[in-house]
């Protein structure tokens, strides 16, 4: 079916006087700082994410659609955003980490009806499910915006009025094929057989409506220039090519209202229509910034942190964030975000895991069975950030056991056991003195600097990998030095062994800091084992990855495994037991190996 747009009644500018409209000019704020030679070698994104000290580092997840409860895909973006936010906080930046829920639209009204509840009741329940999951996954967000909040509605109306005043909204008939799950009209050429949406595998339906349109085509040139001048705007870089080719193929105006949908924000000058759910939801990134006052307005929200440093999204919604959203902002005379990063999909049998397809992995079950650190670590370590990744429980258990329980947990436990037995759990010297002339220390320093660069670069998987290398190097050091046998020799050998334990524990401390963005609870447990208080842990900065934190005389806690091995539940005979355990919410884990002395 051909898509037909007929411009009809030009929308009246009754909301804003023309004189005000003339002040609205697109503006671009891509503040960049010079990058040092060394970091320029490694950093792809660093320059775009450099922050002026005075500005907060604002990063966002998508506002998740509340048609169904969260799944592992929604959790994936949020875990990644949380790791980036925590890293930025370690660097000493003021961070505003925004997440929330997108609550309007046809799909929500239908989902509510299917549950026998009102849309509002439905949104309250699902939105709370997101908040609960974020708590269980140790997500430390700063703002949670719901698009049904009053302050959001006020900001959407004000934004709409600015765009209207800029002459970018008009009324027209539209006829085309609509995917309700995407909430988007589709081009016939992008559909599968039987007019199915390639993402949701459901047929698109013919729709004809009299809608308000946003003049996206007016911004074609400005968008092209923006992307040419700021290639970091869309990341990873291969997604930039995708966005550039969409734009090159010609941008068409899109409808920003729905005549047939009641559950939405009324169009300011026409109560018979509601604002299109995407035009509404994207503005949540700005309305989240406004305070909790009753009265709120667009510019005061903007002055509280806009533009965002980073929108973290899945690649499914790249077009909305890298094409529609910048054009909308230009029209309203507001700054563009500094970067849009579209990561890949968690897949099941090669298909995107999603609520509409119903092929999702339950994050609550994973957290109940394995704990938040394991879930956070596995997905950030195993799925290269930007690419797709498939989940397998067997691989999950193997990776988490090998890396967190063995390489890190067991090394700490063994070292503390030896320290308890031979040094009354007390460090004999400062870690700086203990490591004088020690090549292991130099290696740790190099590796942790690499981890920093990977974090800056949003290469979260590589950051995990490099931190784990410190753990591997620590295990090799322990095996080479064999302090248990040096202690047996007594005298100078015993003194050297005591220094070796300080060296290994200092490396463990550095691992705890460097892994904190990924596994915050595990890092705290390591710090507690090293004799630090929670207040000391909470005050950590990235500067504490420098060698020399542990001091002579510091008393370690009683050795206690920081990460318990997961018992393998993957084989069929244990399946029933696993399900029982999941129901009882009890982790099915065993104690880590005890102290190995030889």
Ligand X SMILES: Nc1ncnc2c1ncn2[C@@H]1O[C@H](COP(=O)(O)OP(=O)(O)OP(=O)(O)O)[C@@H](O)[C@H]1O
Contact residues toward ligand X (CB under 6 A) are: 62, 64-65, 67, 73-74, 76-77, 181, 313-314, 316-317, 345-346, 352-357
Q: Are 288 and 242 in contact (CB under 8 A)?
A: no
Closest CB to ligand X among residues 380, 498: 380
| 3-class DSSP state of 195 | helix
Closest CB to ligand X among residues 343, 441: 343
Closest CB to ligand X among residues 170, 285: 285
> Which residues have a Cβ under 8 Å from the Cβ of 173 and sit 6 or more positions away?
4, 5, 6, 8, 208, 209, 210, 211
Closest CB to ligand X among residues 60, 431: 60
Considering only CA atoms, which of 267, 183, 199 is closest in space to residue 11?
267
Residue 203 sits at φ, ψ, to 5 deg, of -65, 140
Least separation in angstroms between residue 131's CB and ligand X is: 15
Closest CB to ligand X among residues 98, 313: 313
Q: Helix, strand, coil shares of the chain as percentages rounded to 5?
A: 50, 15, 35
Least separation in angstroms between residue 269's CB and ligand X is: 29
Least separation in angstroms between residue 79's CB and ligand X is: 10
> Which residues have a Cβ under 8 Å from the Cβ of 533 and sit 6 or more positions away?
none
Closest CB to ligand X among residues 142, 316: 316
Closest CB to ligand X among residues 355, 588: 355
Least separation in angstroms between residue 73's CB and ligand X is: 2
Q: If DSSP states are collapsed to H, E and C, what string results for 454-489?
A: HHHCCCHHHHHHHHHHHHHHHHHHHHHHCHHHHHHH
- For residue 342, list its beta bridge partners: 313
Least separation in angstroms between residue 464's CB and ligand X is: 18
Taking the CA atoms of residue 281, residue 287, residue 289 and residue 291 in that order, the dihedral angle to the nearest 10 degrees is -140
Query: Which residue's structure tokens are 């068409």?
Result: 252
Q: Token pair of 280, please?
A: 């509404």
Closest CB to ligand X among residues 357, 557: 357
| 3-class DSSP state of 176 | strand
Query: Which residue's structure tokens are 């013919």?
Result: 206
Least separation in angstroms between residue 280's CB and ligand X is: 14
Least separation in angstroms between residue 465's CB and ligand X is: 21
> Which residues have a Cβ under 8 Å from the Cβ of 222 and sit 6 or more positions away?
26, 327, 330
Nearest position to ligand X, beta carbon:
73
Least separation in angstroms between residue 143's CB and ligand X is: 17
Least separation in angstroms between residue 556's CB and ligand X is: 40
Q: Are 545 and 570 in contact (CB under 8 A)?
A: no
Closest CB to ligand X among residues 55, 316: 316
């Amino acid at each position: 079916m051909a898509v037909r747009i007929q411009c009809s009644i030009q929308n009246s500018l009754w909301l804003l006087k023309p004189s005000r409209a003339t002040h609205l000019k697109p503006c671009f704020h891509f503040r960049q700082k010079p990058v040092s030679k060394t970091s320029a070698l490694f950093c792809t994104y660093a320059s775009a994410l450099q922050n002026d000290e005075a500005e907060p580092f604002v990063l966002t997840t998508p506002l998740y659609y509340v048609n169904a409860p969260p799944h592992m895909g929604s959790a994936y973006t949020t875990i990644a955003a949380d790791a980036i936010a925590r890293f930025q906080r370690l660097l000493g930046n003021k961070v505003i980490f925004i997440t929330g829920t997108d609550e309007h639209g046809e799909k929500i009204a239908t989902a509510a009806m299917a549950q026998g509840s009102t849309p509002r009741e439905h949104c309250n329940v699902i939105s709370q499910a997101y908040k609960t999951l974020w708590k269980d996954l140790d997500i430390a967000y700063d703002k949670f915006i719901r698009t049904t909040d009053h302050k959001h509605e006020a900001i959407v109306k004000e934004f709409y009025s600015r765009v209207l005043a800029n002459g970018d909204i008009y009324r027209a008939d539209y006829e085309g094929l609509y995917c309700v799950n995407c909430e988007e009209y589709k081009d016939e050429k992008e559909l599968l057989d039987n007019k199915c949406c390639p993402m949701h595998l459901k047929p698109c339906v013919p729709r004809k409506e009299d809608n308000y349109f946003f003049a996206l085509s007016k911004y074609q040139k400005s968008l092209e220039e923006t992307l040419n001048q700021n290639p970091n705007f869309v990341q990873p870089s291969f997604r930039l090519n995708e966005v550039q080719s969409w734009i090159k193929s010609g941008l068409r105006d899109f409808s920003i209202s729905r005549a047939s949908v009641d559950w939405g924000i009324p169009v300011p000058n026409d109560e018979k229509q509601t604002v299109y759910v995407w035009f509404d939801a994207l503005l949540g990134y700005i309305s989240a910034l406004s305070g909790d006052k009753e009265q709120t307005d667009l510019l005061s929200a903007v002055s509280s942190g806009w533009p965002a440093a980073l929108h973290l999204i899945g690649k499914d919604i790249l077009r909305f964030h890298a094409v529609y959203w910048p054009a909308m902002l230009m029209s309203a005379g507001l700054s563009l975000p500094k970067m849009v990063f579209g990561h890949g999909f968690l897949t099941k049998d090669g298909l995107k895991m999603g609520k509409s397809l119903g092929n999702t992995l339950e994050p609550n079950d994973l957290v109940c069975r394995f704990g938040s650190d394991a879930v956070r670590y596995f997905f950030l370590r195993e799925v290269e950030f930007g690419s797709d990744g498939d989940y397998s429980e067997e691989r999950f258990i193997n990776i988490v056991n090998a890396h967190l329980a063995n390489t890190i947990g067991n090394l700490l436990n063994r070292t503390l056991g030896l320290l308890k037995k031979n040094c009354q759990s007390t460090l004999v010297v400062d870690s700086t003195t203990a490591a004088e002339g020690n090549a292991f220390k130099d290696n740790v320093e190099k590796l942790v600097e690499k981890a920093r660069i990977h974090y800056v670069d949003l290469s979260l998987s590589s950051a995990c990998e490099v931190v784990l290398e410190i753990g591997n190097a620590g295990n090799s050091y322990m095996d080479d030095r064999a302090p248990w046998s040096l202690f047996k020799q007594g005298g100078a050998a015993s003194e050297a062994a005591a220094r070796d334990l300080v060296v290994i524990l200092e490396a463990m401390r550095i691992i705890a800091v460097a892994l904190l963005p990924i596994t915050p609870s595990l890092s705290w447990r390591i710090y507690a084992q090293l004799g630090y208080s929670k207040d000391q842990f909470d005050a950590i900065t990235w500067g504490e990855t420098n060698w020399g934190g542990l001091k002579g005389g510091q008393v370690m806690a009683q050795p206690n495994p920081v990460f318990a091995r997961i018992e393998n539940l993957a084989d069929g005979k244990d399946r029933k037991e696993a399900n029982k355990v999941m129901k009882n919410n009890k982790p099915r884990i065993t104690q880590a190996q005890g102290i190995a002395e030889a």
